Amino acid sequence: MRILFLITLLLAGHPMTAQKTKKIFYDSAGRVTTWDNYMAQLVGGKYKLSKSGNFRTLVKMTPEEQEVEVRRTEKKITRTDKIGKLFPDFDREDVSGNRLAKSELKGKVLVINFWFVGCPPCEMERPSLNDLTEIYKDNKDVVFISFARNSKEQLIEFLKESPVHYHVVPTEKDYIPTTFAINGYPANLIVGRDGNYFYNSAASGIGIQTILRRQIDKALKQ
């Protein structure tokens, strides 16, 4: 079974509880780990699945293998219908009280993630997205924003154990689908310096960090 197919089953909500309870998972360092951490490393796009009996381990992929998986994921998740169209206005506060308004972020590249607490595929891409913010931490022209379908109180409690390095914006239940027409999670998109959609994706998959990084770099050259 290809790695992407495994991820696809996950993102589609395929019941994998039986697999989680019967199999033993090892991380990239050869240590026993949780199924969630194992899957998060797969989504990172550097390792592939190796299985023997009930054991599941991670094996380093070659650059060529990584590129194949990244291109496969990109083809699956990329949406082009909104590219070049005006991204909706927003004016919200993140959980720390920082104001984030599209009107105040003109000329910057916005990297936006949509998620909610309790979303397994959102959690699996979280380490990759956190690493992405580290790459651009010194670039003031790139702003990372996540809109979460949760209250401020819920998010503050969640973030104590599961940090998110994007600005985390709490929203009411219907705010995300009504304002941004997002109905599936996670979703990642990039708004260009001109305030228009530059890149748009639905769901996640192997190599999401690489996909977004390439698109960010292109958007910065606008």
The radius of gyration of the chain from alpha carbons, rounded to an integer in Å, stands at 18
Contacts of 3 (CB under 8 A, 6+ apart): 42, 48, 49, 69, 206
Tokens representing 178 are 């009504």
In single-letter form, the type of residue at position 34 comes to T
> What is the value of pTM for the model shown?
0.87
Q: For 136-194, what is each residue's pLDDT tens digit?
A: 999 999 999 999 999 999 999 999 999 999 999 999 999 999 999 999 999 999 999 99
What whole-number distance in Å separates Cα of residue 173 and Cα of residue 175?
A: 6
Domain over 79-220 is classified CATH 3.40.30.10: yes
Q: For 100-120, what is each residue's pLDDT tens digit?
A: 999 999 999 999 999 999 999
Query: Mean pLDDT for the chain?
Result: 90
Q: Which DSSP letter does residue 11 get?
A: H
**pLDDT for 3 beyond 50:** no
Burial status of residue 203 (CB atoms within 10 A of its CB: 0-12, 13-18, 19 or more): buried
Boundaries of every domain in the chain: 3-69, 79-220
Contacts of 93 (CB under 8 A, 6+ apart): 99, 100, 169
